[in-house]
Amino acid sequence: MLLSLPLPALRRFAVCCVRGKQRGCRGFVAASQLSHREAMTKGLVLGIYAKEKEDDALQFTSAGDNFDKLVSGKLREFLTISGPPLKAGKTRTFYGLHQDFPSVVVVGLGKKTSGINDLENWNEGKENIRVAVAAACRQIQDLEISSVEVDPCGDAQAAAEGAVLGLYEFDELKQKKKTVVSAQLYGSGNDEAWQKGVVFANGQNLARHLMETPANKMTPTKFAETIEQKLKSVSNNTTVHIRPQSWIEEQAMGAFLSVAKGSDEPPVFLEIHYRGSPNADDSPLVFVGKGITFDSGGISIKPAANMDLMRADMGGAATICSTIITAATLKLPLNLIGLAPLCENMPSGKANKPGDVVTAKNGKTIQVDNTDAEGRLILADALCYAHTFNPKVIINAATLTGAMDIALGSAATGVFTNSSWLWTKLFEASTETGDRMWRMPLFEHYTRQIVDCQLADINNIGKYRSGGACTAAAFLKEFVTHSKWAHLDIAGVMTNKDEVPYLRKGMTGRPTRTLTEFLIRMSEDKENSQ
């Protein structure tokens, strides 16, 4: 037995635990009479809090305490001798502690007292859990273990989000794939919160999948068909309209059509409805998403470097559609509509030329001085159409401007809104999810720059290089009459390198969870007001 080992041997075992599958550890597993197959069947993730004071004892979560009792205090003993206290997000792996869990990963959760951080504008405790659980689950995945049970760590929803988001990787087009790991809750009593976290994370992962898929495999038509299939699979209270070019022409969406005409791929206007409210006449919340499935820039062509990332220029459409699918999965008592103008922006003999003038659905003429400012053109027509549903609110999301990436980087989604009430709702939701939002200005200062136009009512770019995200928002404002509207510029949060530890490198699917949390709060406010 382990506890009968002399102290030098015990220390050697602790070293083997830290080194993972190195030879010392293999020796221990063999000594414990565990077959290779048994050792690779299931993993366990447990959390441990940082010490408040230097001389404090190790403080496990309740699940960690229970497991330590199950193994007669061995976990605490080996943690104590195996190295310094675990910092937040750092892991240590132990083998052979329990026959049901041959591999146990302990991960640092930071301080137990962590909560809302007003400077960071998020719940630091929840964010620590997401980061920690993701790191630990990836450690299990690296061991090629296909199943893991996860400590709720004091917040089962955050733990589920960390596990499901952290394990996701787009590798379906590769022959060699990572081990698929099934994550379940360890223990009982937190099942509802865990399942909610799984649904939240799956919604964001759907957006990540849509954004990451290459443009030749995620055309406007394929995108629409994928969303139709997903939405109908989660709820019967749905309707999907995949509108063809003839319908777009009937709607006089001249701005949208002017972008689409440069490509051989036909445009699609995707319209999805979810009817969750018991009152059929309840006004819907309308979401509009930019759906450029590939953006070359058109005649104002982009530089070749990193142009491949423009497969995700439909990130707005991906996030709003994924949000509605998540809301339908959760059976939220709301009526929701999603609108996604879908097309490619390509250079050809039919493409928009700088200086062309096109006419939007509301009759306004637009001088197209930069064909790479195409997202606002397709959104202009979609926003006009959104007003026809008598909506409670209109929210649009778009990977709209590089200027937003310059302004905020990947720290937060930029929000331009004419409603302080709506901003407060979005901000509070983002604090809860850790997928933050930050309010940006809609000053008349910016409007003057786009309405001062030589050939038409409005120009699709501002007079000056500065304030590009703000002039783009001012352009969209010209097509909005609703008093509760928000424009989310998600260009800066489109990709992840290493800024969000629980997301791998690649497309992020942000801010799907924040929009979902916003809808949950809207549904709760509605129920409380009845």
Question: What is the three-state SS of 120-176?
Answer: CCEEHHHHHHHHHHHHHHHHHHHCCCCEEEECCCCCHHHHHHHHHHHHCCCCCCCCC
Domain end call among 164, 182, 200 = 182
Can you spell out the DSSP letters for 93-130?
EEEEEETTEEEEEEEE---TT--EETTTTEEHHHHHHH
163 contacts 140 by C-beta, under 8 angstroms: no
pLDDT tens-digit readout, 349-401: 999 999 999 999 999 999 999 999 999 999 999 999 999 999 999 999 999 99
pLDDT tens-digit readout, 60-108: 999 999 999 999 999 999 999 988 889 999 999 999 999 999 999 999 9
Q: Give the domain CATH number at 142.
A: 3.40.220.10
Do residue 178 and residue 269 come from a single domain?
no
The reply to whether 89 falls in a domain is yes
Number of folded domains that form the chain: 2
Residue 527's pLDDT is what? 64
Do residue 323 and residue 425 come from a single domain?
yes
Do residue 417 and residue 275 come from a single domain?
yes
Do residue 216 and residue 174 come from a single domain?
no
The reply to whether 188 falls in a domain is no
Please compute the mean of the pLDDT values over residues 478-487 and round it to a whole number: 98
The reply to whether 22 falls in a domain is yes
Do residue 140 and residue 215 come from a single domain?
no
Distance, CA of 379 to CA of 259 (rounded, Å): 11
Kindly state the percentage of the chain with pLDDT values over 90: 88
Residue 348's pLDDT is what? 97
Do residue 230 and residue 162 come from a single domain?
no
Do residue 443 and residue 376 come from a single domain?
yes
Distance, CA of 135 to CA of 404 (rounded, Å): 29
Do residue 48 and residue 170 come from a single domain?
yes
Residue 41's pLDDT is what? 79
The reply to whether 457 falls in a domain is no
The reply to whether 199 falls in a domain is no
Amino acid, res. 390: N
Do residue 280 and residue 325 come from a single domain?
yes
Do residue 221 and residue 308 come from a single domain?
yes
Can you spell out the DSSP letters for 176-244?
S-PPP-EEEESSSS-HHHHHHHHHHHHHHHHHHHHHHS-TTTS-HHHHHHHHHHHHHHH-SSEEEEEE-
Domain end call among 146, 162, 182 = 182
Q: pTM here?
A: 0.92
The reply to whether 219 falls in a domain is yes
The reply to whether 363 falls in a domain is no
Residue 518 parent element (H or E): helix 512-529
- Residues with Cβ within 8 Å of 51's Cβ and at least 6 positions away in sequence, in order, are 58, 59, 85
Q: Give the domain CATH number at 391.
A: 3.40.630.10
State which residues form the domain around 6.
2-182
The reply to whether 452 falls in a domain is no
Please compute the mean of the pLDDT values over residues 262-287 and round it to a whole number: 96
Which residues are the active-site residues?
Answer: 302, 376
Do residue 43 and residue 142 come from a single domain?
yes
Do residue 248 and residue 316 come from a single domain?
yes
